[in-house]
Structure 1
Amino acid sequence: MTRLFKGLEGLCRLLILAAFLVLSGSVLLQVFARTFLASAPVWTEELTRFCLIYIGALGAGLALRSGDLVNVDLLCESMPGRQPWIMRLLCALLTAGFALVLIPPAWDYTSIGMRQTAPSLGWRMDFIHAAMLVLFVTLALWALMRVYEMLSRRHDGRPIPMSGDE
């Protein structure tokens, strides 16, 4: 299971890098066009927004895993005994529960986009709205992985630094 999650982590990081590179290229094109050309393409702003949406969606689960999401460590870690561990477990369960509950509405939201297109790019919006599915599925997976690791005593539930961040 660990190899599966390492693969998922690598895939998310690769997709975030791709979205960031597209975003960077789009912004550079917009700046170049506004500076040196008579008019700038309007689709670059829309593409930039879509890239930002996917960067956030792909990064949320990784942020949960690495501890980059907002935590209340000050409160948690000041408690005596096993209470910090119980709070971390409860938070992971709640995060997974909320994410799982939000998957069906995210699916509905995505399917609505099939009948819509982006104004300047002309892309079907279900591809863009699918970012919400990605967000909730990856967030649920990372939270459930934390619960599994805690219950199997492989980890204490504290944030795990990403490879290269140690």
Structure 2
Amino acid sequence: MTQAFKALEGLCRLLILSAFLLLSASVLLQVFARTFLPTAPVWTEELTRFCLIYIGALGAGLALRSGDMVNVDLLCESLPGRWPWILRLVSAVLTALFSAALLASAWQYTRVGVRQTAPSLGWRMDFLHASMLVLFVALGLWALMRIFEMLTGRHDGRPIPVSEDL
């Protein structure tokens, strides 16, 4: 199971890198066109927004794993005994439950996009709306992994710093 999540983490990182490189190329093209050409392509701004949305959707699960999400460690970690561990477990369970509960709505939102197109790119909007599915699936999977690791004693549920990931 750990190998599968390492593969998923690698895939998420690769897709985030791809989206970031596409975003960078789009912004550079926009800046170049506005500076040196008579007109600039309109679609670069829309593509940049799409890339940012996917970076956020793909990165949410990784942020949960590395501790880059907003935490209330000051309160939780100051509690005595096993309470911090219990609160981390409850938090992971709630994250998984909310992610699962929102999947049906994310699917409906994605399906609505089939009938819409992006104004300047002309792409079907379900490709963009699917980012919500990606977000909730990724976040739910990482929360389930944290629950599994905590219940099996492999990890105490604290965020894993990026240096340990490598």
TM-score relative to the length of structure 2: 0.98
In structure 2, what is the Cα distance between the partners aligned to 1:145 and 1:29?
40
| Aligned mates of 2:84, 2:121 — CA distance in 1 | 48
Tell me how far apart the structure 2 counterparts of residues 55 and 123 of structure 1 sit (CA, whole Å): 18
Q: Which 4+ runs in 1 deviate beyond 6 A?
A: none
Q: Look up the equivalent residue of 2:121 and give its one-letter code.
A: L
Q: Which residue of 1 aligns with 2:139?
A: 139
1:162 CA displacement: 2.8
Percent identical residues:
78
Residue 164 of structure 1, CA deviation: 6.3
Spell out the pairing of 1:10-49 with structure 2 (5 A cutoff): 10-49=10-49
Cα offset for 1:161? 1.8
CA deviations on 1:53-84 (whole Å, 9 max, x unpaired) are 00000000000000000000000100000000
Please say if 1:112 is aligned against 2:115. no
One-letter code aligned to 2:122: G
Q: Separation in 1 of the partners of 2:55 and 2:135?
A: 10
TM-score (normalizing by structure 1): 0.98
> Aligned-pair distance for 1:45?
0.1
SS in 2 for 1:30: helix
Aligned length: 166
CA, structure 1 residues 9+163, in 2 after alignment: closer, same or farther (shift >3 Å)?
farther
Task: Provide the alpha-carbon RMSD of the alignment.
Answer: 1.1
Residue type of the alignment partner of 2:142? W
Q: Unaligned stretches of 5+ in structure 1?
A: none
Corresponding residue for 1:154?
A: 154
Superposed, 1:43-82 pairs within 5 Å as: 43-82=43-82
Q: Secondary structure at the match of 1:108?
A: helix
